[in-house]
Amino acid sequence: MTLEPIPASAVGTPTPDAAAQPPETAGAFVRRRRQASGLSINRLAVRSGISASTIGTLERGRTPLQSLWTAAALAYALKADPYALAIAAGRSYPAATRSDRDRGHRTVRASDIAGPHRTLTCFGEMLYLWRIRHNRTLTQVAELTGADRLWLSRVERMAAAPSIPTVVKIAYGLNLSRTELLVLAMRDQHCRNLYARENMVYAPHVRDLYARSG
């Protein structure tokens, strides 16, 4: 199966008054697109497979959007940009790690980790390459990001999808671009959905690509 490249729109679609208004939240994004499509919350629930109560609390700002799967389902049901929704959802999770606040270095582009002649294939590859290049263990990454080490191991092996707050924790803890990591994680979710439709599992073997590098 041929994977689709990340579209140029992945940087997010600004709202009409983006220059004058604060950044749009995930709930506001969903409500705006739902109303523009003439859909009720119940109708969107049927289309997306997400419960009406979940959509309602999200739109009212009572609960943040945590799941990439939920974000993708809502975006596709609304015929909206899933990358823009993931980026909006990430804004609900501010920096929470001391390592990021203390370091104060310039944020590094995640795409730079792969080197000048190739692109990252998945989120797990990004995490693995960062560790190799910085000579860090998963335990050390867990300490930097505040994420669970065992869960990070599954994410790196592409055996599990990270939640949106986990992506944000990793971005801040490793001093990487939050937007780029959210886009990369959503691309993986898009691939998972494509593979699932063919009764296949999207599970690239990240470490096998770099077996010779140790």
Instruction: Give the chain's length.
Output: 214
Q: What is residue 94's predicted lDDT score, i.e. its pLDDT?
A: 74
Burial of 58 (0-12, 13-18, 19+ CB in 10 A): buried
The DSSP bridge partners found for residue 108 are 176
Q: Which of 193, 164, 156 is nearest to 181 (CA)?
A: 164
| For residue 187, pLDDT beyond 50 | yes
Domain ranges of the chain: 23-90, 98-213
CATH fold for domain 98-213: 434 Repressor (Amino-terminal Domain) (1.10.260)
Q: What is residue 207's predicted lDDT score, i.e. its pLDDT?
A: 57
Per-residue model confidence as pLDDT tens digits over 118-135 = 667 799 999 999 999 999
Q: What is residue 15's predicted lDDT score, i.e. its pLDDT?
A: 40
User: What is the spatial distance between Cα 183 and Cα 77, in angstroms, rounded to a whole number?
Assistant: 19
Per-residue model confidence as pLDDT tens digits over 134-181 = 999 999 999 999 999 999 999 999 999 999 999 999 999 999 999 999
The DSSP bridge partners found for residue 176 are 108
For the domain with range 23-90, which CATH number is right: 3.40.190.10, 2.30.40.10, 3.90.79.10, 1.10.260.40? 1.10.260.40
User: What is the spatial distance between Cα 203 and Cα 195, in angstroms, rounded to a whole number?
Assistant: 10
Between 150 and 8, the higher pLDDT residue: 150
Task: Find which of 4-13, 22-31, 48-57, 195-204 is predicted with most confidence, using mean pLDDT.
Answer: 48-57
21 pLDDT band (50/70/90 cuts)? Answer: low
Q: What is residue 212's predicted lDDT score, i.e. its pLDDT?
A: 39
| For residue 116, pLDDT beyond 90 | no
Q: What is residue 75's predicted lDDT score, i.e. its pLDDT?
A: 98
205 pLDDT band (50/70/90 cuts)? Answer: low
Average pLDDT score over residue span 7-17? 43
What is the pTM (predicted TM-score) of this model?
0.80
